[in-house]
């Protein structure tokens, strides 16, 4: 397995933005775990699958052929779904899909396979605790709730802020209290509050951690 930088944290904390920046800066492969769950959720919605049908969702996760390409392109069964998986209804469905143990098991296997021969940056909610518990660089990226709402509003300007706040609060509750792989900070992860920080400042803070681990022979 190559070097792994694991970034976990709640919705709206800026994980995807920072992970992409780090991957580009370091020449690592960016594995967008959230996009993978969104892809399965999109397939489930298209098939009118009951999101409470854990068995069927697990089947879809195992069968899904997911490719993560540069420039945020995502292929699902050879179809470019890069835009479709960003729809609000897919985001909501993805959180429910991600709570299914069988789905997580299937996608974790795919994620580990992707990282078998490459240095990677991964972001999600259980990367440092479940997917790559042995990663030498683990970051728990957080931000104050209103800051997270503000950032999400920049991505979804058509959604009222109050609705975004409710969605984030609901997702936080579900992610932190799901029975399998709940959102939690790994004991050896470094906590970073990004409130008030620019993406450049967050990137530099994490790069300092990466460099320290490498210079100390821990990476």
> 113-167, pLDDT tens digit by residue?
988 888 899 998 889 998 999 998 999 999 999 999 998 888 888 999 999 999 9
| Distance (Å, whole) CA 47 – CA 19 | 31
The model's pLDDT over 40-53, given as tens digits with 9 standing for 90+, comes to 999 999 999 999 99
Check residue 34 and give its pLDDT: 87
pTM > 0.85: yes or no: no
For the chain, the domains span 4-211
Angle of helix 33-46 versus helix 54-63 axis, rounded to 10:
120
Residue for token digits 């179809």? 79
3-state secondary structure at position 74:
strand
Name which CATH class applies to 4-211: alpha beta
Confidence grade of residue 219 (pLDDT, cut at 50, 70, 90): very low
Q: Within its chain, how far is the Cα of 150 from the centroid? A: 19
Q: What percent of the chain shows pLDDT beyond 90?
A: 68
| Distance (Å, whole) CA 210 – CA 219 | 8
| Distance (Å, whole) CA 216 – CA 91 | 39
Pair of tokens at residue 123: 């972001």
Q: Give Cβ neighbours of residue 63 (< 8 Å, ≥ 6 apart).
A: none
Pair of tokens at residue 163: 């609705």
């Amino acid at each position: 397995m190559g070097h792994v930088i694991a970034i976990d944290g709640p919705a709206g904390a800026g994980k995807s933005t920072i992970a992409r920046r780090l991957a580009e800066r370091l020449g690592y492969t960016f594995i967008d775990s959230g996009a993978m769950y969104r892809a399965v959720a999109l397939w489930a919605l298209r098939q009118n699958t009951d999101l409470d049908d854990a068995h069927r969702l697990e089947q879809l996760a195992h069968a899904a052929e997911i490719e993560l390409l540069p420039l945020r392109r995502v292929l699902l069964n050879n179809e470019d779904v890069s835009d479709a998986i960003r729809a609000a209804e897919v985001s909501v469905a993805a959180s429910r899909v991600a709570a299914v143990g069988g789905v997580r098991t299937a996608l974790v296997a795919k994620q580990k396979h992707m990282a078998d021969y490459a240095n990677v940056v991964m972001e999600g909610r259980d990367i440092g605790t479940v997917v790559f518990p042995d990663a030498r660089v683990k970051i728990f990226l957080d931000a104050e709730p209103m800051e997270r709402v503000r950032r999400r509003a920049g991505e979804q300007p058509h959604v009222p802020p109050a609705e975004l706040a409710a969605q984030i609060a609901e997702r936080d509750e579900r992610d932190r209290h799901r029975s399998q792989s709940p959102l939690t900070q790994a004991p050896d992860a470094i906590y970073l509050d990004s409130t008030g920080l620019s993406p450049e400042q967050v990137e530099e803070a994490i790069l300092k951690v990466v460099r320290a681990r490498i210079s100390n022979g821990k990476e």
